[in-house]
Amino acid sequence: MSERSLRGMSIGTKSLETDSNVAFVDRKQIKYRCPNGHVFAVAMVVNAEVPVAWQCRCGQEGELLEGEGVDERKPVKPVRTHWDMLMERRSIEELEVLLEERLDLLRTGRLRRGRH
């Protein structure tokens, strides 16, 4: 490779494009407030559906201050624990029978602790 470099311009830091002959769309400022008290505005197209919440720079979720927005939040599902999933497959009576079988195996020495 040669030891040449381009001189006279910072490649990548300056654009060679201009804004001439560019038609900008109409925009509006939508204001949000996060729980930390930050008020911030987001520029959106005039006919865009406005979300009810937008993430603030601090990482918190900002709520829409004025106007009507589209609530895109999904309903929150309750957390399923291992016990919930087990109860979907077995009844308490079946679990008691399984427990007794395993305890009998431990007591007779046919099953050791720590091994499955």
> 71 CB contacts (<8 Å, ≥6 apart)?
52
> Computed from CA positions of residues 75, 78, 82, 88, in that sequence, does the dihedral angle turn out positive or negative?
negative
Task: Determine whether the annotation assigns residue 56 to a binding site.
Answer: yes
Task: Determine whether the annotation assigns residue 47 to a binding site.
Answer: no
Task: Determine whether the annotation assigns residue 69 to a binding site.
Answer: no
φ, ψ at 90 (rounded to 5°): -130, 155
Task: Determine whether the annotation assigns residue 103 to a binding site.
Answer: no
Cα 29 to chain centroid distance, Å, stands at 24
- Annotated binding-site members: 34, 38, 56, 58
- Annotated binding-site members for Zn(2+): 34, 38, 56, 58
